[in-house]
Structure 1
Amino acid sequence: MSSAGGENGKPPWWLYHGTGRPRPDLNLAAELPPPPGWRAFDGGPPLPLPEIGDREFERRLGAGTQQQYFESGTEEVTMVNAALYLRRPLLVTGRPGTGKSSLAYKIARELALGPVLRWPISSRSTILEGLWEYDAIGRVQAAAAQRDEEPDIGEFVHLGPLGTALLPYELPRVLLIDELDKSDIDLPNDLLNLFEDGEYEIRALSRIAGRQPDVRVFTADADGTAKIHGGRVRCRAFPVVVVTSNGEREFPPAFLRRCLRLEMRPPGIEQLTDMVAAQFPGVRVPHGSELIRAFGERSSSEGVLASDQLLNAIYLATSGAYSRDENWELLRNALWRQLGAAGAE
């Protein structure tokens, strides 16, 4: 696809430019086209996005100046924009440390879509855990303590990151489902059904909907709450879903058909340099170029090195640990041990 005709050489249909830099010139509500008819949802009433803070984004992406952002490649940006337009999950695969999880934070910061909702997956993760939790025991204990007044059920219902992302926000939230390949075999199919329907039921609330139709519950955002009507949640703007995988297992064909797929390639020297500049703005790194070049060469020859292994070495170098002696070589070799090597864990 030609890159001519847009701002700064970007294709005009791109809403996400891949810099991770906030775009105050972008009015996403006006510029994002309506969804395809088969991906349109009508949940409501519409909710505003939570306020976005810089602290988590700076920790994940760095606090670089306008010239110090790690720009994504054309394939990556194209697939993110396609996922935005089609309202489809983006399945991101690649080696550890290639920036799969960071992609979600870049999208959220650049498009001002609020804090990222992160759901780290383990072998014990279930769809219900991602949607909501009801502390029935806690409610019984509170009722026994209060005696004369039944506690509000909403104080004991907490939406998970997945459940929060499907609230009827005016603009899409960014949901990071991290390392789905660690999940139980059934979870991808459960997600498939949920992403098709765009809604779910909170059974603890639907059972009392006749006498208490509206209940305010906690969300996955810090100090966040939302009012649930009739015990059901239906999304309005389908979330930007970034599903990461280290490629350790195959997913069901039906799940893959409904995702857009992106393979993250290891960053090159230029990208590593931009990444270091973003994480260490205004800091002089002793022999920084030499370290970056050596890291790139080792990563190319030995493979399976993560970007944070470079950042760890750079940080120690700025702290005075760098010197051209055997102690530094010993330390660097320990930091840059292959992730797949025996004892690397």
Structure 2
Amino acid sequence: MPLWPVYTGTEEPHDGISLLPDPPPWRAFDGGPALATPADDADTAAASPDRRHRAETYRATPQAVQLVNAALYLRRPLLVTGPPGTGKSSLAYAVARELRLGPVLRWNITSRSTLHDGLYQYDPLSRLYAARRAAARPAPGGHDHADGIEDHLRLGPLGTALLPYARPRALLIDEIDKSDLDLPNDLLNVLEEGQYEIPELLRTRDAENPRAEVLIDGTHERVPVERGRVRCRAFPFVVLTSNGEREFPPAFLRRCVTLRLRQPDDAHLAAIVRAHFDGEPEPYAQTLISRFLSRVNGGDLATDQLLNAIYLARSSDLSAESLDELAGQLMPYLGEAHDPDGF
């Protein structure tokens, strides 16, 4: 039987992803041959302690749980918007951990990022040097052992996520609003079709040699690519984050499930503090939470600013007056401030 919600926002990992119903007919993909999703222990070895901690301590709102499940059921990207520090990128790690989707593939967007960067990188110069070395040192018997083109090509995070994995991979496209104006439109076709081509391989593969073994993002593992074409099997769980600094084309928004995160309220902040510090907030921590909430309407504040202040309050022997002064310095507004009274 199908399961709703597949993602629950709880702490315990589980295999609920296997209970997803079949995709809508217009979002069904048939790439192959099927690849096994990397195991969770691979993520433990590869991920930084910060990312693992964020995945374990993330506390999703009911709205976030509902819309994550909508994106999973519909096989659509999830566009997560909101002020800095509201947990937009952490959500991808929390979902991947709970649903055992393996290591999160991360693509950090800059103003110079292009669709090609996310799909794959090809180094023609290294191939040229390899060919020259092979020509200078002919192999015994006169055979040319120059490296093939696949030895100078690596799939990017988006290109890896669209491989025909039997279970969906998790892909974080972070800060999409920093991109060039054309990138959201360029993503449309790839995310809609769930496939792409690698022209360099298309030109070199033939009927007798259709397969290339290429490196994937973040590891030294190689996967087969047939005839230079990649098509997904299980559409990846794609999270695109935005700080709300720009508007996106209607065609792009229409193909995404949109989640708008807001600053957490008192109860949500207390739950976040409990998760990070493994216990109920102490009296001074509760005071900091109250002061943080009273200042939120005056400008942008990030939850990790509050966590930093609480950690120092718990770990130091400073006086209350000194702690107040330090907390104010650790929690400045991230943008234009509208609160003349300060901390």
Q: Which TM-score bucket, shorter chain as reference?
A: 0.7 to 0.9
Structure 2 residue aligned with 1:199, among 188, 195, 199? 195
The alpha-carbon deviation at position 73 of structure 1 amounts to 1.9
TM-score where L is the length of structure 2: 0.87
Distance in 2 (alpha carbons) for counterparts of 1:57 and 1:22? 20
In the TM superposition, what whole-angstrom CA distance separates every residue of 1:98-130 from its partner, at most 9, and x where no partner exists? 111111111101111111111111110000000
Structure 2 counterpart SS, 1:158: strand
- In structure 2, the partner of 1:60 is 51
- In structure 2, the partner of 1:316 is 312
Q: Which structure features the higher share of helix residues?
A: 2
The alpha-carbon deviation at position 138 of structure 1 amounts to 1.1
Distance in 2 (alpha carbons) for counterparts of 1:273 and 1:77? 19
- In structure 2, the partner of 1:262 is 259
Contact 2:3 2:16 in 1 (8 A): no
Distance in 2 (alpha carbons) for counterparts of 1:271 and 1:127? 37
Contact 1:64 1:280 in 2 (8 A): no
Relative distance call for 1:283 and 1:219 in structure 2 (3 A) is farther
Deviates more, 1:180-189 or 1:152-161: 152-161
- In structure 1, the partner of 2:213 is 216
The alpha-carbon deviation at position 27 of structure 1 amounts to 4.2
| CA-atom RMSD in angstroms | 2.3
The alpha-carbon deviation at position 282 of structure 1 amounts to 6.5
In the TM superposition, what whole-angstrom CA distance separates every residue of 1:119-164 from its partner, at most 9, and x where no partner exists? 1111100000000010111121223234332013222111110000
Structure 2 counterpart SS, 1:207: helix
Contact 1:285 1:317 in 2 (8 A): no
Relative distance call for 1:146 and 1:316 in structure 2 (3 A) is farther
- In structure 1, the partner of 2:334 is 339
Distance in 2 (alpha carbons) for counterparts of 1:40 and 1:298? 47
Letter of the structure 1 residue corresponding to residue 17 of structure 2: L
Distance in 2 (alpha carbons) for counterparts of 1:227 and 1:133? 16
- In structure 2, the partner of 1:127 is 115
* Residue 165 (structure 1) aligned with residue 153 (structure 2): no
**Percentage of identical aligned residues:** 52
Contact 1:61 1:102 in 2 (8 A): no
Distance in 1 (alpha carbons) for counterparts of 2:133 and 2:262? 56
User: What does 1:80-229 align with in structure 2 at a 5 Å threshold?
Assistant: 80-147=68-135, 148=138, 149-210=145-206, 212-229=209-226
Relative distance call for 1:136 and 1:63 in structure 2 (3 A) is closer
For structure 1, the 5+ residue unaligned runs are 1-10
Structure 2 counterpart SS, 1:227: strand
Contact 2:211 2:225 in 1 (8 A): yes
Structure 2 residue aligned with 1:22, among 12, 22, 28? 12
In the TM superposition, what whole-angstrom CA distance separates every residue of 1:28-56 from its partner, at most 9, and x where no partner exists? 22x11011111011000001111223463
User: What does 1:3-18 align with in structure 2 at a 5 Å threshold?
Assistant: 13-18=4-9
Structure number with bigger Rg: 2
Deviates more, 1:313-322 or 1:260-269: 313-322
Letter of the structure 1 residue corresponding to residue 8 of structure 2: H
Letter of the structure 2 residue corresponding to residue 15 of structure 1: V
